[in-house]
Structure 1
Amino acid sequence: MGIEYASTVDHPIDEVFAWHTRPGAMRRLVPPWQPMRVVKETESLADGTAILGLPGGLRWIAKHDPAGYHPPNQFVDVLSSDGLMTMPPRVIGWWRHVHKYNEDGPGRTRVLDEVDTTVPGAALRSTFAYRHRQLAEDLAAHRDAAQAGAGQLVVAITGSSGLVGTALSAFLSTGGHRVIRLVRGEPTGDNERRWDPDNPAPDLLSGVDALVHLAGESIAGRFTEAHRRAIRSSRVEPTRRLAEIAAATPGFGAFVSASAIGYYGHDCGEQVLDENSPRGKGFLADVVADWEAATRPAAEAGRRVVLVRTGIIQSAAGGTLKLLRPLFAAGLGGRLGSGRQWLSWIGIDDMLDIYYRAIYDNRLTGPVNAVAPNPVRNAEYTKVLASTLRRPALLPVPSFGPRLLLGKQGATELAEANQRVAPAALEALGHRFRQASVDDVLAHQLGHDPAPGVVKLTL
């Protein structure tokens, strides 16, 4: 039993195979809706071992078979075991996965996954549809960067353990770039440096081409005085100190800082907001404005500064979609209040592409709206989410619901925010979005993508 899944990508076979050999490849291919995480990537496709974490502390061990390693055409992994916590997955019987690559015309590669397993092939279809699309679109993004003259870059990242930071680190690594994680604890290797937000070392960014600054206290939660203080203090002063270090570091390139569409305020009506729209009112608008202003030392020193004003990120692995999915899957979801408020969203993979472009594209500077080109009203979003999960959306959420969880200010500025934001700066550069419609991003994130390849279920 099992599955054969094939598709063709418009990239040379050597590039396709090399992508799979780099750190981050496995993390880019594990579907976000599945209850597993990458514990350890393989050190070699020839004879290494990869480990996936499963619920309850269980482990899935994939051992690579030296006899099946024929670069750049093939590598093989099989299910193995090592200790008590790795035995339960063996109840499925067996798993042998042959990864095949063959030239399919000039600059094109046919990618074929052959899985021999006791798991029904139909249950694997969505996983391989996701994997093949991720591969094709990641390779396309790296090709765009190479054609723009990016070369191999050294990129430092704060907040590298968060939702965006984890994905961005893996994404950049598969492109052949070196990622240096700025961590608050003791570094565990050459690709980590200790970062003290209150007193960063003067040589923190030595040898770095670009910094992606993602660190900051989560804004989710009740807007108590302590929470508001943590949101502000984790952003403004640490950003200013990093900007001063960037300004003083010879050869440093781009300072790319996270920001948010909260800059425009929380109740913007029907107005379409672009990067030139004025600052709004409210706690988050004030914080974002001060957060962005904290990057001035870098800009004044002639460094290119990009402020990534992020919309509502769509990822089944975290954020609002992860919270909403079980509720809607149970048939208990629905619009929030009237459902008329605008939701400016962005898929996690498009978010990575935007940060990537901010790193290498010298034309991008200042504020950049990191949102998809098609915002939707809350009622439409919840309808599409329910439809994707094949559930009804009949139970509107009354306004007092979010206020119980977030408090009055939190509900007003987060759950009930009404922001119709356009990615004008990106569109002016002809930026290509992977998922421009909410239907597409939710289908991809939740495992309901139409299969882009040829599927054959085996007995």
Structure 2
Amino acid sequence: MRIETTHRVPFPLADVLAWHERPGAIVRLTPPGLAGADDPAADGLQVGRVVAAHLGPSRLPDLLRPHWVLRHREHETGDENGRFVDQQVHGPWRDWRHEHRFTADDHGTLVHDLIDVELPRPLERLAGSVESQVRRLLAFRDRQLHDDLRFHAGFAGTPRRTIALTGSSGLIGTQLAALLETGGHSVRRVIREGSVGPGEISWDPQAGALDAADLEGVDVVVNLAGRSIATRWTDGTRREIRSSRIHGSALIARTLAGMRDGPSALVQASAIGFYGPRRPGELLTEADPGGEGILADLVRDWERAARAAGEAGIRTTFLRTGLSLSDGGGPLLPQLPMFLAGVGGRLTEPEAMTSWITLDDVVRAFAHAALSAEVEGPLNTVGPQPVTAREFARTLGSVLHRPALVPVPALGPRLLLGADATDELVRTDQNVSDARLEASGYEATHRTVEAALRHVLRR
């Protein structure tokens, strides 16, 4: 079976080829729910380079995720064109060959994909479905390439930065590192390992161990570290969630504050949980003093833990993220099986407001905050058009061509998450404003929930 597509991106050939040759390109071109690269930091298109990935969401054990190994077989570049070829070494297909061609024209660069795939015999009857999925993937890659190049173009006059990143293996961190690296910036991953490789920094937040010397030459620190809150909140889990945020943030802030010529900025993860779970009828802005509840108290203390950096004159930004939409994790993934089975519906009261944002817009917002010298203080990181729970469910059903008529009984999330987590993560009503984010110069790529879901789910 042969699949061919051609897209145009309105950027010079040299920029398009450079983007593909840098670390992170394969990560940015692969939907997180579809596959995860074994070595996200690998770069280059040189002949013989091996690219390997595990298929399926990272939440699944590797034993349940098929391993796909490709090798770059051919690579050519010139002033007017470029070309490289991926050939399957091991994987789910009997054969797979993907030829990428790039041609300069008066309006930018033509990106031509030519895929020859031979399906395993048991899947031959599904050839039409496989072709449809591959074409959706190629359309996703085209949009991703266009949107990332547009983002990088906005910082074309900014010197390339060196950025230290905690939480680099998480859903947001993996994509953020890749976005920055495809823009030519250097990322130093801060990891909880005693033995580190090139470009890595070791730390231990619980022990208060972070060597300031490892941050010399770093321009910005982005702190995404923190245990996932999408779990049952036992007493032990709540302590882990809290300590993983407070200790790490405080350690980074006081380390930066004690440096004579260290990083000039700290970009700190935060959350709209700051405002409390239910604020019906209110438009929530960064001027709000915050609400009440477990998450509100946590986020308030989380931001306070980084105060030492700001007091030392270091530009400090808190990105209060909303519900991050992705097919690889977050609040959307658990809903997909129910919707695909035709029994999906809203999770809370029909008029309760949902402040959503796509994973890609979250990632670009973090990069925007890291690279923009004037961005400081709290910043609501949400899409420009929050929707009601009813509208979200109806739109998700429409995008998946499934009904969305029956509300999910409250008992379901309570059995999965427990009463406290359900109350603060699921039964929410938050209409959060993105006005300050937009005023800072950031422009959301996905401005409506329908556009967001179609991008995330490749529909």
TM over 0.5: yes
Counting only pairs closer than 5 Å after superposition, residues 89-100 of structure 1 correspond to structure 2 as 89-91=92-94, 94-100=95-101
1:167 pairs with 2:167:
no
Structure 2 residue aligned with 1:209: 219
| Higher alpha-carbon deviation: 114-123 or 240-249 | 114-123
Q: TM-score, normalised by structure 1?
A: 0.91
CA distance, structure 1, for counterparts of residue 133 and residue 318 of structure 2: 41
Cα shift at 1:2: 1.9
Cα shift at 1:57: 5.1
Structure 2 residue aligned with 1:51: 52
Superposed CA deviations along residues 184-213 of structure 1, whole A, max 9, x for unmatched, are: 013442111101112222323211100110
Cα shift at 1:431: 2.1
Cα shift at 1:43: 5.1
Maintained 8 Å contact 2:8/2:111? yes
CA distance, structure 1, for counterparts of residue 285 and residue 390 of structure 2: 23
Maintained 8 Å contact 2:33/2:329? no
Structure 1 residue aligned with 2:254: 244
Maintained 8 Å contact 2:22/2:43? no
Question: Pick from 233, 237, 247: which aligns with 1:227?
Answer: 237
Cα shift at 1:270: 1.3
Equivalent position SS for 1:111 = strand
Equivalent position SS for 1:351 = helix
Maintained 8 Å contact 1:45/1:69? no
Letter paired with 2:403: P
1:60 pairs with 2:59:
no
Question: Pick from 246, 253, 264: which aligns with 2:275?
Answer: 264
Superposed CA deviations along residues 212-252 of structure 1, whole A, max 9, x for unmatched, are: 10001111222222122112111112211110111122141
Task: Rate the CA distance shift 1:16–1:78 in 2: closer, same or farther, 3 A.
Answer: closer
Maintained 8 Å contact 2:346/2:408? yes
CA distance, structure 1, for counterparts of residue 84 and residue 101 of structure 2: 9
How well do the aligned residues superpose, as a CA RMSD in angstroms?
A: 1.8
CA distance, structure 2, for counterparts of residue 408 and residue 57 of structure 1: 32
Superposed CA deviations along residues 74-122 of structure 1, whole A, max 9, x for unmatched, are: 33324333xxxx3x6342xx3222211111216x111111222336543
CA distance, structure 2, for counterparts of residue 111 and residue 70 of structure 1: 14
Cα shift at 1:430: 4.0
Task: Rate the CA distance shift 1:90–1:419 in 2: closer, same or farther, 3 A.
Answer: closer
CA distance, structure 2, for counterparts of residue 57 and residue 428 of structure 1: 42
| Percent identity over paired residues | 40
Cα shift at 1:32: 3.3
CA distance, structure 2, for counterparts of residue 302 and residue 445 of structure 1: 38
CA distance, structure 1, for counterparts of residue 283 and residue 450 of structure 2: 21
Structure 2 residue aligned with 1:255: 266
Cα shift at 1:374: 0.4
CA distance, structure 2, for counterparts of residue 274 and residue 204 of structure 1: 36
Say which structure, 1 or 2, has more relative contact order (CA 8 Å, 6+ apart): 1
CA distance, structure 2, for counterparts of residue 439 and residue 45 of structure 1: 35
Maintained 8 Å contact 1:154/1:177? yes
Superposed CA deviations along residues 104-144 of structure 1, whole A, max 9, x for unmatched, are: 216x1111112223365434210110000000000111111
Maintained 8 Å contact 1:3/1:116? yes
Structure 2 residue aligned with 1:291: 302
Structure 1 residue aligned with 2:59: none
Structure 1 residue aligned with 2:4: 4
1:30 pairs with 2:30:
yes
Task: Rate the CA distance shift 1:272–1:59 in 2: closer, same or farther, 3 A.
Answer: same
Equivalent position SS for 1:278 = coil
Structure 2 residue aligned with 1:455: none
Equivalent position SS for 1:5 = strand
Maintained 8 Å contact 1:33/1:447? no
Structure 1 residue aligned with 2:151: 141
Counting only pairs closer than 5 Å after superposition, residues 410-421 of structure 1 correspond to structure 2 as 410-421=421-432
Equivalent position SS for 2:362 = helix
Superposed CA deviations along residues 12-37 of structure 1, whole A, max 9, x for unmatched, are: 11110010001110111113342x32
CA distance, structure 2, for counterparts of residue 100 and residue 350 of structure 1: 28
Question: Pick from 412, 420, 429: which aligns with 1:401?
Answer: 412
Equivalent position SS for 2:303 = helix
Q: How many residues align?
A: 436
Structure 1 unaligned regions, length at least 5: 449-459
Maintained 8 Å contact 2:348/2:426? no
Structure 1 residue aligned with 2:437: 426
Letter paired with 1:89: P
Letter paired with 1:70: T
Maintained 8 Å contact 1:79/1:90? no
Letter paired with 2:67: R
Letter paired with 1:210: V
CA distance, structure 1, for counterparts of residue 22 and residue 233 of structure 2: 42
Cα shift at 1:395: 2.1
CA distance, structure 2, for counterparts of residue 90 and residue 410 of structure 1: 42
Question: Pick from 283, 288, 292: which aligns with 1:281?
Answer: 292
Maintained 8 Å contact 1:138/1:171? yes
CA distance, structure 2, for counterparts of residue 398 and residue 122 of structure 1: 34
1:316 pairs with 2:327:
yes
Maintained 8 Å contact 1:43/1:49? no
Cα shift at 1:289: 0.7
Question: Pick from 135, 138, 161: which aligns with 1:125?
Answer: 135
